[in-house]
Structure 1
Amino acid sequence: MNDTTLPLAQDQNLDPYQGAEGTDIQHADAPILLQYWQTLIRWKWVVLGIMVACLAAGTIITLLSTPQYTATTRIEINREQQNVTKVEGIESPQSTQDDEFYQTQYSNLQARSLAQRVARQLRLANNDAFFAAHGAEAPGGLISGGTATAGNAREEQLREAVDLLLDHVTITPISRSRLVDISYSSASPDISAMIADAWAAQFVATTIDRRFESTADARKFLEQRLAELGTRLEDSERAAVAYAANKNIVALGQSESADGKTIVERTLVSSDLEALNSALSEATTERIAAESRAATRGPTSESSTNPAISNLRQQRALAAAEYAELMVQFEPGYPRAKALQEQIQSLDGAIAREEGRVSSSRSSAYREAAARENDLRGRVDALKSQLSDQRRNQIQYNIFQREADTNRQLYDSLLQRYKEIGVAGVALSNIAVVDQAQVPNKPSSPNLLLNIALAFVAGIGLSFLALIALEQVDEGLHDPSSVGRLLNLPLLGSVPMADDDEDATEALKDSKSHLSEAYFSVQSNLSFATAHGFPRSLMTTSSRPAEGKTTSSVALAAALGRTGKSVLLIDADMRSPSCHEYFGLTNDAGLSNMLTGNKTLQEVTKDTGLRGLHVMSAGPTPPSAGELLSGNRFRAIIEEALGHYDHVLVDSPPLLGLADAPLISRAVEGAVFVVEADGVAVRGLRSSLARLRQAHGHIFGAILTKIDSRRASYGYGYGYGYGYGSQQDD
């Protein structure tokens, strides 16, 4: 039986004036959250399957995973370096104040070069336990010998160890602090703690090495410059000394100015000139004194101070005194008096001679002093001339000396800077280990609850992606509000999915059943489709079989019959007839007989037992149904039937793949397009409607069938009508 699924009723309230004018009936779109909920309900089994699969996968992976132990070393990274030498390096102190400083440190903590240092220090390339702790195959030992193959094997093993280190280390900065946690995870607690501590230690060593290496280029450059300046300094000093020797410039005293220039304060010539000039001054003074003494007549102070003259005078005074005593007693002729007188005369002669000698020595001293003065004056004049020449030569000497001083200053400053850079690396590291890694006593992963939560989140994400993909692939109509927007047709009514055990015939006989109420609503909407009310001739069709068009035809015919109208239902689907089965009738004669002229209208119509409803079955299946419908015979049958019945409803074949429905549309006033919810894609529906419109068939609107009532909530009309009816039944 075709199209045997029985829908339940839905009360569909349409604007009667819009229906009468044949325009699109307006339906408010459902809220966006409600649309999401409807989509979720539509694909609930897919979503449930994805969620169950993700949770199962998370649980299985957790139970099968090897326990991992995480050890953490905490370090402190300071911006300022502790400089114990008080000597600045080549890097500016402000460079550590940049905002990028800590980000750079975090990146350095994850550098491959640091992992290589750790691997080399701990000899991890040959450590079988290390590879086993990471679930990797052990390297199997190095190849003996010094061949290139052995070298390549060592590099490959080291590369594998470094890759494992980088995959299992985690750098976690502590927010709002200078602290950083270095965590390492493996299946061995001891290995995790060992590598975490080694990582921190090597990072400190790397920082110190980097600081020292940063001065290597500067030291190399300074060494080259020092060698060059040393040669230039030696040459300039040698040139200054050679020039001084050539020009007899002998410096006896030198000093250094505030700007480091060498100043020659005294030379040998200037010192000699100073000494000779002093001697000349003394000689001049002596010559003047000697000249004054030589010009003096008579006794002088020299006579009184001369020891010989003083002694002679003393002897004369004694002789004179003794002579005077004798003269008191004796006469001048007394022998003793006479002897004393001769002695006095002899002493006077000696004194006179001595005084003459003193006077002669004054003249000689004057002559000597004058000669000495003249000699010194000549020598001073000669030294003055020599000093003048030396001062002229000293200008060039000073040029040589200044060049030597400049080279010496450059050499000394570069040498000092070279020494400073050499000791700059002695500064303490700005990185300190706060907490050493402790050997973990319990695994950090896998965490069953966390993994289940992550699997749940992953399931939600995958479900969301699956829903998006399915919604993009699934182009069927899901709700009544999209009929007008996607098909440009008025919505005549929407019918939810019926229960499997509902009997269509019994439902149609009961005017209060869901089926009767639903199609009575559709029949009411169709009563506004034309100016004369419900169309007298009407066909129901769909895109493909089993969309509910036959059920819709039977239900509409029954609804019209209950209003007191006489209705004829014609089963025009001669390829797959099914209307007679709804009423338990035979299909021995029907439409195919009338189209061939073998039977009359009265012979092929049968009473259905429902009020006002008769049915014309399809009859025997003809060889070519399309050829029978292509002529005017079917139109004539419709006109003849309208002469006996108030309304004629035609259950036509599907549109896709068959030419029957377009041919039938030419004989009726219009068509009702039946669409199964979540059935044919929109492009297929549009293609079917295009075929019908190409045959100039008029379409009154669409009926959306087989809507799942458990996930449908399309506005007040359906919600109230269906819900209220259900409550009444209850």
Structure 2
Amino acid sequence: MIDEKAAVLVPDPYKDQEQVTPILLQYWQAAHRYKLAIAIIVAACMALGIIVTLLMTPYYNSISRIEISRDQDKVTNVEGLQADDSGSRNLEFYQTQYSLLEARSLAERVVRAQNLSTRDSFFEAFNVDPSDSGMLSGSDNIQSAAQRKEPLKLAIELLQKNITISPIRGSSLVDVGFQSPDPRLSAEIANAWIEQFIASNMDRRFNSTADARNFLLEQLDELRQKLQDSERNLSTYSDKKEIITLSSEKNDSGKTVSQRTLASANLEMANAALAEAMSDRIIAESEARQSSGNENALTNSALNNLRAERAKAQAEYAKLAVQFEPEYPAVKAMASQITALSQSIVAEETRSRAGTSARYREAVEREQKLQTEVNRLKRQFSGERRDSIQYNIFQREVDTNRQLYDGLLQRYKEIGVAGVGSNNISVVDRAEPAEEPSSPNLLLNLALALLAGVGLAVSYVLVLEQIDQTVKDPAELKSKLGIASLGSIPDFDKEDILLSLTDKKSVAWEAYLSIRTSLGFLTDHGVPRSFLLTSTRPNEGKSTSAFALAAVLASARKRILLIDGDMRNPSLHKMLGSDNDAGLSNFLSGTNDLEQLISKKTAHEFDIMTAGPIPPNAAELLSGPRMNELVAKLNEIYDTIIIDAPPVLGLADIPLLADSVEGVIYTIEAGGVKLRGIQSGLERVRSSRAHVFGGIVTKIQSQHSGYGYSYQYSYGSEQAVET
């Protein structure tokens, strides 16, 4: 027996393969399980929506459309320090206009203009009695004053409650709508609303213009005096410091940016003359240097002419010297001419050097005088520049005061010319009485009722799902219980399953055949040589599953023995319709003749051993070594031994039985025992050091199916049916 347990190589084939049902599929399964409750909730909400819609008073909505142009009032033209963001300013402007359209003051203007607080028809249209509104206690005078104010207050509240302001996106158009049970009243109020809005806008413009004119007059008087004082200070200071301004330049805003004074003009002219003298001195110095080194011969035309004539004479002399003697008259005359030309050249060179030196001395003296004058003017200009700091302060003050004064004067003239006749609000469409009611909207109410019904149904299902802590899906075995799922069985009556096991094309047979496939991967030798089936409580399909597995395993021509191990409440003999005279309890009591205790070859081709007579204390029989000896002997005869064990909770049999087999298969009824109970049962099984191969989920309803439907197969003259 120990060797067989040691042969178990893969006790849990799904140990590292956790199968988690996708969340959307879990939601679909939950909705399918509670589809009837969901349908009832949604239908009830829809019916309630229809009833409420039919009981509601019809309201008629009349809409008038206006255009609000962008118009910003400016009291002064003085710019602020912050940059102008036209986008944000436009948004701010239109948001302000929308708020003004919803203001209580505008509603009060409409009430007073239309005399709504004294019109009984207005209150009757809304089915409101102003006399029933809150009465104040006190003296008769106080109470009568309060009573007079109550209709006005109530009328304002009705207008604000039923008025709608709807800006048209991307435009300056605004729809003003009013709804009431009376279509004519709705059109009247909508038109009166825009009329009073235009009138209130004109009133605000008139008030702001009057205030602006008074403000500007006061500011003009103050700035005029400031401008006079600043100009007087500037003139006095310039006379005192002898700052004589020849010309000045101003920018586009009227501010003085540069000035040309007498001192700056003199310095500029002296500096220009000095630059010219320096240029002349440099030229004269260059000529003097050239003259001292006979380098100016090329630039002196008279000297160049003399040298040219001498060269010509020397050429003639050389020609004559070849033909005649030196004493020949023509030769002597040409020699005399050459001597005279040489003397003239020497005299011209001497005269040229003397003139160049004189010009150089004159240039140096003129440069020195101009340099002295420039230095004097620089000192004078530096003193004036220091004085001009205060002068510029006075000048800027004059420019600022003049600019402010001119700006305010121009604004004052604009206000006087423009007046308050312009208006930036125009009526595009006036309201007309509506022909059909705008509310209640049956389709909208039905959509809201459907949405509310779906919300309630979802909440209902989620609450039930949180409360329901049972296993409904085989995929939950690994995630919630930590055991592998070996398969699942649809919900059939016990008799139907036993009958369908005779047909190998039935749904029950296919389901248990799938479990047999899973069993083949549990150990290195395939299907375990011995295992038991147990459950948390009775009636979870444990005995039926044990019987069906024995039949499926036996169909593969294997020697299979099914033992009814529940000696407290045996059921195998009832399923087969046989007696329970001898069985497991007899062997555990000392009987060794297995031939008498085993029924050979039942209709399903496997042998069985019933529980036998019910003993007074089954736990004492199981606690001995006889159970291990029985399984060891039977392993020599049969390929697989299946024990239909009793439930776990409340009994001590399972820990004793589990020690004699290779492993345990836990049977769980779908939607049956709570998770806590199943976990307690599994802990009790594991406490005996027994190995749990996995679990089988039985009695799965069609709404518990992972795909949301059940299926049946039939062959022959019948057709397959899917539901």
Structure-1-length-normalised TM-score: 0.60
Match of 1:527 in 2: 520
Q: Secondary structure at the match of 1:184?
A: strand
CA 1:514–1:72: 2 relative to 1, 3 Å: same
Q: Mapping of 1:693-708 within 5 angstroms?
A: 693-708=686-701
**Where does structure 1 lack aligned partners over 5 or more consecutive residues?**
1-16, 237-258, 260-406
Task: Report the residue type matching 1:45 in the other structure.
Answer: L
- Structure 1 residue 692, shift from structure 2 partner: 2.5
2:661 equivalent to 1:668? yes
Match of 1:100 in 2: 92
Q: Secondary structure at the match of 2:436?
A: coil
- State whether residues 588 and 626 of structure 2, in contact with CA within 8 Å, keep that contact through their aligned partners in structure 1: yes
Instruction: Give deviations 1:379-409, integer Å, cap 9, x for gaps.
Output: xxxxxxxxxxxxxxxxxxxxxxxxxxxx9x9
Match of 2:39 in 1: 48
Instruction: Give deviations 1:138-187, integer Å, cap 9, x for gaps.
Output: 44377797755555566666555444433322222234432221122222
Match of 2:64 in 1: 73
CA 1:181–1:643: 2 relative to 1, 3 Å: same
Inter-partner Cα distance in structure 1 for 2:637 and 2:682: 31
Inter-partner Cα distance in structure 2 for 1:727 and 1:207: 90
Match of 1:197 in 2: 191
Deviates more, 1:698-707 or 1:508-517: 508-517
Q: How many residues align?
A: 534
Task: Report the residue type matching 2:682 in the other structure.
Answer: L
CA 1:529–1:187: 2 relative to 1, 3 Å: same
CA 1:117–1:632: 2 relative to 1, 3 Å: farther
- Structure 1 residue 212, shift from structure 2 partner: 4.5
Match of 1:168 in 2: 162
Matching residue within 541, 552, 559 for 2:545: 552
Q: Mapping of 1:209-608 within 5 angstroms?
A: 209-212=203-206, 214=208, 426-474=420-468, 476-498=470-492, 503-573=496-566, 577-585=570-578
Task: Report the residue type matching 1:669 in the other structure.
Answer: E
Inter-partner Cα distance in structure 2 for 1:596 and 1:162: 98
CA 1:191–1:516: 2 relative to 1, 3 Å: same
Inter-partner Cα distance in structure 2 for 1:139 and 1:600: 105
Q: Mapping of 1:584-663 within 5 angstroms?
A: 584-585=577-578, 609-617=603-611, 620=614, 629=622, 634-635=627-628, 638-639=631-632, 642=635, 646-656=639-649, 659-663=652-656
Inter-partner Cα distance in structure 2 for 1:510 and 1:414: 108
Instruction: Give deviations 1:619-638, integer Å, cap 9, x for gaps.
Output: 5485x766665565654554
Inter-partner Cα distance in structure 2 for 1:490 and 1:468: 27
Task: Report the residue type matching 2:42 in the other structure.
Answer: M
Q: Secondary structure at the match of 2:524?
A: coil
Inter-partner Cα distance in structure 2 for 1:65 and 1:634: 79
CA 1:149–1:618: 2 relative to 1, 3 Å: farther
Inter-partner Cα distance in structure 2 for 1:154 and 1:90: 49
Inter-partner Cα distance in structure 1 for 2:447 and 2:468: 30
Match of 1:363 in 2: none
- State whether residues 70 and 189 of structure 1, in contact with CA within 8 Å, keep that contact through their aligned partners in structure 2: yes
Deviates more, 1:635-644 or 1:91-100: 91-100
Instruction: Give deviations 1:533-574, integer Å, cap 9, x for gaps.
Output: 322321212344443222211211222333444444344445
Deviates more, 1:543-552 or 1:458-467: 458-467
Inter-partner Cα distance in structure 2 for 1:62 and 1:560: 65
Inter-partner Cα distance in structure 2 for 1:502 and 1:140: 75
Inter-partner Cα distance in structure 1 for 2:209 and 2:85: 17
Task: Report the residue type matching 1:582 in the other structure.
Answer: M
Inter-partner Cα distance in structure 2 for 1:195 and 1:573: 87
- Structure 1 residue 75, shift from structure 2 partner: 1.4
CA 1:647–1:195: 2 relative to 1, 3 Å: same
Inter-partner Cα distance in structure 2 for 1:57 and 1:618: 64
Task: Report the residue type matching 1:433 in the other structure.
Answer: V
- Structure 1 residue 446, shift from structure 2 partner: 2.0
- State whether residues 10 and 524 of structure 2, in contact with CA within 8 Å, keep that contact through their aligned partners in structure 1: no
2:98 equivalent to 1:114? no
- Structure 1 residue 51, shift from structure 2 partner: 2.4
Inter-partner Cα distance in structure 1 for 2:516 and 2:53: 61
CA 1:18–1:537: 2 relative to 1, 3 Å: closer
CA 1:728–1:545: 2 relative to 1, 3 Å: farther
CA 1:149–1:523: 2 relative to 1, 3 Å: same
CA 1:80–1:726: 2 relative to 1, 3 Å: farther
Inter-partner Cα distance in structure 1 for 2:142 and 2:539: 76
Deviates more, 1:683-692 or 1:152-161: 152-161
CA 1:493–1:148: 2 relative to 1, 3 Å: same
- State whether residues 172 and 181 of structure 1, in contact with CA within 8 Å, keep that contact through their aligned partners in structure 2: yes
CA 1:566–1:229: 2 relative to 1, 3 Å: closer
- State whether residues 534 and 664 of structure 2, in contact with CA within 8 Å, keep that contact through their aligned partners in structure 1: yes
Structure-2-length-normalised TM-score: 0.60
Deviates more, 1:561-570 or 1:667-676: 561-570
Q: Secondary structure at the match of 1:557?
A: helix
Two-structure CA RMSD over aligned residues (Å) = 5.0
Q: Secondary structure at the match of 1:100?
A: helix
Inter-partner Cα distance in structure 2 for 1:113 and 1:630: 94
CA 1:135–1:106: 2 relative to 1, 3 Å: same
Task: Report the residue type matching 1:167 in the other structure.
Answer: K
CA 1:704–1:583: 2 relative to 1, 3 Å: same
Query: Which structure has the higher relative contact order (CA within 8 Å, separation 6+)?
Result: 1
Inter-partner Cα distance in structure 1 for 2:223 and 2:525: 118
- State whether residues 75 and 411 of structure 2, in contact with CA within 8 Å, keep that contact through their aligned partners in structure 1: no
- State whether residues 128 and 138 of structure 1, in contact with CA within 8 Å, keep that contact through their aligned partners in structure 2: no
Task: Report the residue type matching 1:166 in the other structure.
Answer: Q
CA 1:628–1:46: 2 relative to 1, 3 Å: farther
CA 1:50–1:540: 2 relative to 1, 3 Å: same
CA 1:129–1:533: 2 relative to 1, 3 Å: same
Inter-partner Cα distance in structure 1 for 2:570 and 2:626: 20
- State whether residues 128 and 139 of structure 1, in contact with CA within 8 Å, keep that contact through their aligned partners in structure 2: no
Inter-partner Cα distance in structure 2 for 1:534 and 1:410: 105
Task: Report the residue type matching 2:32 in the other structure.
Answer: I
Instruction: Give deviations 1:290-334, integer Å, cap 9, x for gaps.
Output: xxxxxxxxxxxxxxxxxxxxxxxxxxxxxxxxxxxxxxxxxxxxx
Deviates more, 1:125-134 or 1:165-174: 125-134
- Structure 1 residue 515, shift from structure 2 partner: 1.8
Q: Secondary structure at the match of 2:487?
A: strand
- State whether residues 90 and 421 of structure 1, in contact with CA within 8 Å, keep that contact through their aligned partners in structure 2: no
Task: Report the residue type matching 1:493 in the other structure.
Answer: G
- State whether residues 570 and 618 of structure 1, in contact with CA within 8 Å, keep that contact through their aligned partners in structure 2: no
- State whether residues 672 and 703 of structure 1, in contact with CA within 8 Å, keep that contact through their aligned partners in structure 2: yes
- State whether residues 211 and 425 of structure 1, in contact with CA within 8 Å, keep that contact through their aligned partners in structure 2: no
Task: Report the residue type matching 1:503 in the other structure.
Answer: D
- Structure 1 residue 672, shift from structure 2 partner: 0.8
Inter-partner Cα distance in structure 2 for 1:72 and 1:671: 78
Match of 1:206 in 2: 200
Inter-partner Cα distance in structure 1 for 2:521 and 2:530: 14
- Structure 1 residue 61, shift from structure 2 partner: 1.6
- State whether residues 171 and 181 of structure 1, in contact with CA within 8 Å, keep that contact through their aligned partners in structure 2: yes
